[in-house]
Structure 1
Amino acid sequence: NRENTGVPRSPGMKYTHYSPKADVIIVDGELPLIVRKISGLIEKYKSEGINVGVLATEQTVNCYESVEIISAGDRDKPETIASNLYYALREFDRRKVRVILAESVEGTGIGMAIMNRLKKAAGYNIIKV
């Protein structure tokens, strides 16, 4: 089983330069369900004393409380998310966040590239809702 040998399954999985020090968890699904799930995870991690960050978008940045929140950009302008993603992940490192809860974006067009980068940063750790 190649997954257990440390050998990348494909060349694109080899490099993790978008990976922050924190664990990244992508929450994927319909936006209202994503917000609800992330809100629940915030409470869980905070109750465990873990510093949490949320990688949100302009549409949801005001939906979360009591955590480090960074808007990656506007869902209606995915190029803004693409250009801000690397900065946002590094900013969470500067803020000493241990877990980053990231909203998924539409996986077509530029969104496909965004999700590819985000999945690499998360080590393919995705919660479907």
Structure 2
Amino acid sequence: TVIALENDDTVRILRPGYVTKEMLEEIVPQVTLDPAILHQLKEGQTVRSPGMKYQHYSPQAHVILVEGEWQNFAAYAEQNKADGVYALVFDGEETRLSLPCLTYGASGQEQAQQIFSKLRELDDRGAHKVYVRAPKPEGIGLAVYNRLIRAAGFEVIQV
């Protein structure tokens, strides 16, 4: 977690990580999220921390972050399956899809530990396109979401 001290009573999270917003709120009166955590920077905008500006942690495949309930994600992935298309889903969901899948944990901590190795594994498998089931951007899930949105080049689909 990278933070900036804004004034006497405000902490701005620049890059979310293991220390969550909720943890900081227990000890600091005001905690804010930098807009660059969830949104692409505008042209010419100055970054306040490494890793805020560019696409990072992306496999060679075209990554698309998909937000929504499981049944909507599954329907979307199934409608768009083709050769070289994979899904990156939560543990236990892989058996409910007919397209090739990798899993990256059931929740926050596991997902944070596995996300980068799973993105590299997609390269090893020759994936051309990957639909990633988005975690909820809260708690440590915010850090995972932040890394995934960058891997997807900010391409997010709501289903």
Q: What band does the TM-score fall into relative to the shorter chain?
A: 0.7 to 0.9
- 2:80 is equivalent to residue 41 of structure 1: yes
- 2:102 is equivalent to residue 70 of structure 1: yes
SS of residue paired to 1:127: strand
* Residue identity opposite 2:127 in structure 1: V
Q: Which has the higher strand share?
A: 2
d(CA) in 1 for partners of 2:64, 2:141: 17
Aligned counterpart for 1:32 among listed residues 64, 67, 71: 71
Contact 1:27-1:38 at 8 Å conserved across structures? no
Contact 1:19-1:121 at 8 Å conserved across structures? yes
- 2:87 is equivalent to residue 54 of structure 1: yes
Aligned Cα root-mean-square deviation (Å)? 1.9
Residues 94 and 128 of structure 1, relative CA distance in 2, 3 Å threshold: same
d(CA) in 1 for partners of 2:46, 2:133: 25
Give 1:9 deviation, angstroms: 6.7
1:105 corresponds in structure 2 to 135
**Percent identity of equivalent pairs:** 30
d(CA) in 2 for partners of 1:35, 1:107: 20
Name structure 2 gaps, 5 residues minimum.
Answer: 1-40
Residues 20 and 33 of structure 1, relative CA distance in 2, 3 Å threshold: same
Residues 8 and 25 of structure 1, relative CA distance in 2, 3 Å threshold: farther
d(CA) in 1 for partners of 2:45, 2:76: 30
Name structure 1 gaps, 5 residues minimum.
Answer: none
Q: Which moved more, 1:52-61 or 1:8-17?
A: 8-17
d(CA) in 2 for partners of 1:13, 1:71: 26
* Residue identity opposite 2:104 in structure 1: A
Contact 2:56-2:147 at 8 Å conserved across structures? no
Q: Which has the higher helix share?
A: 1
Q: Which has the higher contact order (CA 8 A, sep 6+)?
A: 1
Residues 97 and 109 of structure 1, relative CA distance in 2, 3 Å threshold: same
Give 1:40 deviation, angstroms: 1.3
d(CA) in 1 for partners of 2:144, 2:61: 18
Residues 112 and 32 of structure 1, relative CA distance in 2, 3 Å threshold: same
Which entry has the higher C-alpha Rg, 1 or 2? Answer: 2
Q: TM-score, normalised by structure 1?
A: 0.81
